Amino acid sequence: MAAEVKKLGKAVTTPGKKSVTTFQQHLDDVTEILNNFQRTLDLFKDDQLDKLTELQTEVAYLPRQLEVHQKEQLKSYQLMITGIYESISQIQEEVENIEISAVVLLRSLKIKPDQIVSDAIKKDNRYGFDMESTMKKGLTLEERVLKYIDMHCTGIKISDMESPFGETRMRIGFVVKKLLDEEKIQKIENLYFPVK
């Protein structure tokens, strides 16, 4: 009997030892899998933290980049504006030099600049208009202004009518206003045109 108990004990303990060994082995495998998962998770977490830190740095730098870009654009615009003003100044100087040269030339010829302009306008026959003949015909100022505007289909300013009519700007302005109200002429910006 003792021999049978021994055999039975060996049979019971041998499978028990194998079960414990197998369980231990499975437990070690599960532990290794969990450790690998934890390492992967840590790597992922570190990678995501690095990306987040990099993104935060970029986002923090964006306002500075925008500010630098805006300053560069502003400087570029200022340079362009400065160039434009310099060009305008040069043109003004050239115009002044031309005007001075014209006045010197006219003085040397003993001609008054106002007389040249007045004579040129009075004899403006480009459109078949002669101021002196309209005055001789006895036309009213309103009729003369209307005829003059009709002859200038590219438009004319009130100030351009002062000298040919020998009238003040205010008087011509009243006449032009009346013609506008009667819809005999039209106004676009500062120019007056015949009605189409």
Tens of pLDDT, residue by residue over 3-40, are 554 554 454 455 556 777 888 888 888 888 888 888 88
Do the bridges between strand 191-194 and strand 185-188 make them parallel or antiparallel, or are there none, so unpaired? antiparallel
Tens of pLDDT, residue by residue over 72-84, are 888 888 888 888 8
Q: What is the pLDDT of residue 8?
A: 45
How many Å apart are CA 10 and CA 17, to the nearest integer? 10
What is the overall mean pLDDT for the chain? 77
How many Å apart are CA 190 and CA 161, to the nearest integer? 13
CB atoms within 10 A of CB 122: 17
Burial of residue 164, with CB atoms counted within 10 A of its CB: 0-12 exposed, 13-18 middle, 19 or more buried: buried
